[in-house]
Amino acid sequence: MASPTAISPHAGNPVAVTLHGRKLEPNRRIPLNLDWVEEVRANTSAVERRAATHTARRTVKKEHQAAWLLRALACMDLTTLSGDDSVERVKRLCAKARNPVQRQLVESLGIEELNLTVGAVCVYHTFVETAAKALEGSNIPVAAVSAGFPAGLSPLAERVQEIRRSIEAGASEIDIVITRAHVFNGEWQALYDEVAAFKETCGPVHMKAILGTGDLMTLRNVARASWVAMMAGADFIKTSTGKEAVNATLPVSITMVRCIREYAERTGMAVGFKPAGGIRTAKQSLDWLSMMKDELGRPWLEPSLFRIGASGMLADIERQLEHYTTGRYSAAYRHPIA
């Protein structure tokens, strides 16, 4: 990587999705294979060591860091999921999504031709129509959290109807949340049927399955839930709602992306990954990007297969990019989000 443009989000042709030289297809539902679920194992101490060594030995500086930070922006789901959300806040967030980096900074970096935007804007169903109108003509998807978010405990019919309403309102991506009790009870058929029903309702609309990993207790549970969601047709698997006590962590993320890798090896199909919740700094975005590169390879550094659910992280990325161009850190209040 010689410059930020070298890894810019919209430069060059789309990267073919391959693994070990094998071309992969988009994921689709396959029959539930309980043998695959039951044989799952997770070596927690080994995964935790891998996560610890990863952050200690992976670092990029200068123009390479700027390039990776631009990639993080392109893969960001700019999110607002607060109880005090309003129409005006969502409109401001969408304006930021269209222009995530201040104009003078874009000019300093020499990336005007990239038309850099974030990967998507993620909101509650109530604000889908507002976001869709604000993003009209930008090609930025609107992602709606759905299916009884964040607990996932409302009746199935209501959750299915919520998905349908969000799509009708203009959502082009749906982030559903699973019933965690199915995982605790080993009710794999029930979990499969639930996720499959959500995906059937979504149709061609991309669906991310939120596992609520902070609630799942063990990495084995996380891995098993990942396998069932993928077999049920999820386009992405996602760590968290952002509302759990513990949200995205590197050990959980490593566990999930290794499930994605093994699933691709067995089925020839690619599933995306989204860590969400608790990722707030530019340095953390680099940790997750490099983890994806190490574990899955270059194709999983595209917004079509990798998203970071965040909002506050954007301001820190802007500050780091400004430091790259000027040698000075600006005050955080100079980089408002919404």
Report if residue 236 sits inside a domain: yes
- Cα(30)–Cα(223) distance, rounded to whole angstroms? 17
Report if residue 14 sits inside a domain: no
- Cα(143)–Cα(321) distance, rounded to whole angstroms? 27
- Cβ-based neighbours of 46, under 8 Å, separated by 6 or more: none
Report if residue 1 sits inside a domain: no
Report if residue 314 sits inside a domain: yes
Report if residue 100 sits inside a domain: yes
Report if residue 24 sits inside a domain: no
- Please check whether residue 60 is in contact with residue 286, taking contact to mean a CB–CB distance below 8 angstroms: yes
Q: Which domain holds residue 259?
A: 36-334
Report if residue 68 sits inside a domain: yes
- Cβ-based neighbours of 249, under 8 Å, separated by 6 or more: 51, 213, 239, 278
- Please check whether residue 293 is in contact with residue 309, taking contact to mean a CB–CB distance below 8 angstroms: no
The CATH number of whichever domain residue 250 belongs to comes to 3.20.20.70
Q: Which residues are catalytic?
A: 175, 238, 274
Per-residue pLDDT of the chain (338 residues; tens, 9 = 90+): 334 344 444 333 345 788 888 899 999 999 999 999 999 999 999 999 999 998 887 777 888 899 999 999 999 999 999 999 999 999 999 999 999 998 988 998 899 888 899 999 999 999 999 999 999 999 999 999 999 999 999 999 999 999 999 999 999 999 999 999 999 999 999 999 999 999 999 999 999 999 999 999 999 999 999 999 999 999 999 999 989 888 999 999 999 999 999 999 999 999 999 999 889 999 999 999 999 999 999 999 999 999 999 888 999 999 999 988 888 877 776 766 64
Residue holding tokens 């309003």? 86
231: nearest Cα among 22, 87, 17, 29? 29
User: What's the predicted TM-score (pTM) here?
Assistant: 0.92
- Cα(136)–Cα(219) distance, rounded to whole angstroms? 40
Report if residue 111 sits inside a domain: yes
Number of domains in the chain: 1
